Structure 1
């Protein structure tokens, strides 16, 4: 495998991992007001391939086991005898920060992918002369 192919492979794995991360962050944001919803997090794992190239992959989705918010609303259909029900443990500030970080990491991987492609094209042009 050429160095260009290895570089493209590493960039592509980063793009895939960040895209999955963004998907879970968007699910968390969409379900921030869903009673009983637990925040999802996705860990990244380094993988060593047979050709010596390390890439990133995503692990299994993990649910945040922190306490769910107790919300007082006696008129809510899920309220108990004290008028409370369990909300979600999603913090929108954290989710927006995670989304911004994932977006920037995605853009960095995309830039690396594009730079590799441009270098490969330039090399092919030089070899044709």
Structure 2
């Protein structure tokens, strides 16, 4: 049963990591029009137990995208400088949608692995009861 528990734990760690990634993507999309907003990026780190990698994954520290902010020309905006420009955000909606799809598919794959492991352990218990 230990192998089943390990497989369930690995799947769960992947689902937690992808859920956090989806959260950052949704925050980026929500703030795409916020002046001065820097895109949030999710980093992943391997889970380590007793000095060895377990195969699981955890979310590392959140990082901000360091690419330049877009410059928006709107002289009437209160945020505009003397030249009429102000800093927009560096969120690219196409990139965010692609990241969201990738995170969704990864989450679904981990969920499928979790469900398959649960079904196998249930079937094993049924066999052992006979």
Q: Would the TM-score normalized by the shorter structure come out above 0.5?
A: yes
Stretches of structure 1 lacking an aligned partner (at least 5 in a row): none
Change in Cα spacing, 1:55 to 1:66, as seen in structure 2 (3 Å) is same
Q: How many residues align?
A: 129
Preserved contact between residue 46 and residue 53 of structure 2 (Cα < 8 Å) = no
Match of 1:75 in 2: 76
The alignment partner of 1:10 has SS state of: helix
* 1:15-94 correspondence runs (5 A): 15-50=15-50, 53-94=54-95
The alignment partner of 1:53 has SS state of: strand
Query: Could you tell which deviates more after superposition, 47-56 or 93-102?
Result: 47-56
Query: TM-score, structure 2 length as denominator?
Result: 0.95
Report the alpha carbon displacement of residue 42 of structure 1 after superposing the two structures with TM.
Answer: 1.0
Stretches of structure 2 lacking an aligned partner (at least 5 in a row): none
Preserved contact between residue 34 and residue 88 of structure 1 (Cα < 8 Å) = yes
Preserved contact between residue 40 and residue 64 of structure 1 (Cα < 8 Å) = yes
Runs of 4+ in 1 over 6 A off after TM superposition: none
1:121 paired with 2:122, answer: yes
Q: Give, in whole Å, the separation in 2 of the partners of 1:76 and 1:126.
A: 71
Q: Give, in whole Å, the separation in 2 of the partners of 1:100 and 1:52.
A: 27
Q: Give, in whole Å, the separation in 2 of the partners of 1:106 and 1:30.
A: 21
Q: Give, in whole Å, the separation in 2 of the partners of 1:27 and 1:52.
A: 31
Preserved contact between residue 13 and residue 57 of structure 1 (Cα < 8 Å) = yes
Q: Deviations over 1:88-109 (max 9, x none)?
A: 0000000000000000000000
CA root-mean-square deviation: 1.3
